[in-house]
Amino acid sequence: MRIGDFKQSYAADEAVFRSGTVRVWLALLFAALAVFPFLAGPYLLYMADLTGVAIVAAVGLNILIGAAGQISLGHAAFVGIGAYTSAILTTRLGLPFLVCLPLSGLSAAFFGVIVGAPSMRMKGLYLCIATLAAQVIFDFIFVHWTPVTGGIRGINVPPPDIFGLKLDTEFKFYFVTVPIVILAVSAARNLFRTRVGRAFIAIRDRDISAELMGINLFQYKLYAFATSSFFAGVAGCLQVYLLKIVTPEHFPLHESIRYLAMIIVGGLGSVLGSIFGAIFMTMVPEALQSGLALFQGLDDKLMSYLFPLQTVVFGLLIVGFLVFEPHGLAEIWRRIKDYFRLWPFEH
């Protein structure tokens, strides 16, 4: 039984996996992820792919807001830049999926640096408004730059292929989504152990003190915007290949707010919280809709009231988390682990 966190080296202090128990549970999780597609139907696989896309995007936003403390309301726009970049590169230049994936991230990172430039002179609510303006500008471009983006009709994208294997089903695409999610989560988890990640946290906690310690605020804030936007661009590339189409209605302002809600519900500054939040915000609306579908056929008038009610229930769940657990699902998970770590000696 573990009774303390005494460590004898810096390597032990910075280790990602603190005990053998964590490695065992992680191995079981990987085994479950490997078996899942052989047991699930197309709908569950589609939802799993969609959740994977949301996890990558949420992890990126949590790096920017949760770790670096730079609030953004334009995250959906960067996901859209990645999606349009991959769609254009595929349909007009014929580039393969594996080439489009990093280029989509780099394209979004480039525009993320441009949008993040005002962060040197703005922070808090003012930076929030600046990123909101970026969301509106890119939304306008997606709709009205018709020769490039296809306007409101968007761009149809063929199924991706890797080394001749066409990924034209949710089952095949699952085996692409999961490794990318694992790579993204691992990269974010290790980022916080590096000099750059620790600089992000120092800027978030006290930017003036961080500058006095020699951290270049402008440089590291741009790093945060570029990193966050890169993750968003990769998520956009995955999304466009999953849906086989990209249109402006996939990246409106409320989608940016949804990503923000993911990291708040999951837990700010926590990679695990990004995963929990993305799963919650993707799966709970589907679960509510499926639950209400059980009452279909009872009374048409009753159903006309129940179906809009699912949005209200979803909103109340989010408000409940903010009121009763402001640190998110990651904090609940941490308390559960602490309870069983010391069980049956709770004190």
Do residues 178 and 192 touch, judged by C-beta distance below 8 A? no
Cα separation, 228 vs 59, whole angstroms? 8
Residues 6+ apart with CB under 8 A from 227: 60, 63, 64, 109, 191
Residues 6+ apart with CB under 8 A from 2: 19, 341, 342
Task: Give the pLDDT of the chain (347 residues) as one tens digit per residue.
Answer: 555 666 777 777 767 776 777 888 889 999 999 999 999 888 899 999 999 999 999 999 999 998 888 888 889 999 999 999 999 999 999 899 999 999 999 999 999 999 888 766 777 788 888 888 989 999 999 999 999 988 888 899 988 888 888 888 889 999 999 999 999 999 998 998 889 989 999 998 888 888 888 888 888 999 999 999 999 999 999 999 999 999 999 998 888 988 988 898 888 888 899 999 999 888 888 887 777 777 666 666 666 666 666 677 777 877 887 788 778 888 888 888 878 777 666 55
- The closest alpha carbon to 87, from 237, 299, 243, 250, belongs to 237
- Other CB atoms within 10 Å distance of the CB of residue 126: 12
Cα separation, 286 vs 177, whole angstroms? 20
Q: What is the 8-class DSSP label of residue 53? A: H
Give, to the nearest 10 degrees, the angle between helix 217-243 and helix 170-191: 170
Peptide bond between residue 344 and the one before it cis (omega within 30 degrees of 0): yes
The pTM score is: 0.89
> Residue 246 pairs with which residues in a beta bridge?
155
CA 33 to chain centre: 19
- The closest alpha carbon to 251, from 95, 94, 22, 87, belongs to 87
Residue 101: the pLDDT is: 92
Write the burial class of residue 87 (CB in 10 Å: 0-12 exposed, 13-18 middle, 19+ buried). buried
Do residues 91 and 157 touch, judged by C-beta distance below 8 A? yes
Residue with tokens 């009374």: 299
- Other CB atoms within 10 Å distance of the CB of residue 120: 12
Cα separation, 11 vs 48, whole angstroms? 35
Alpha helices in the chain (DSSP H): 10-13, 20-39, 42-62, 75-93, 97-116, 125-144, 146-149, 170-191, 195-205, 207-212, 217-243, 253-266, 271-293, 300-324, 328-342
Residue 1: the pLDDT is: 54
Residues 6+ apart with CB under 8 A from 38: none
Kind and range of the H or E element at 246?
Answer: strand 245-246
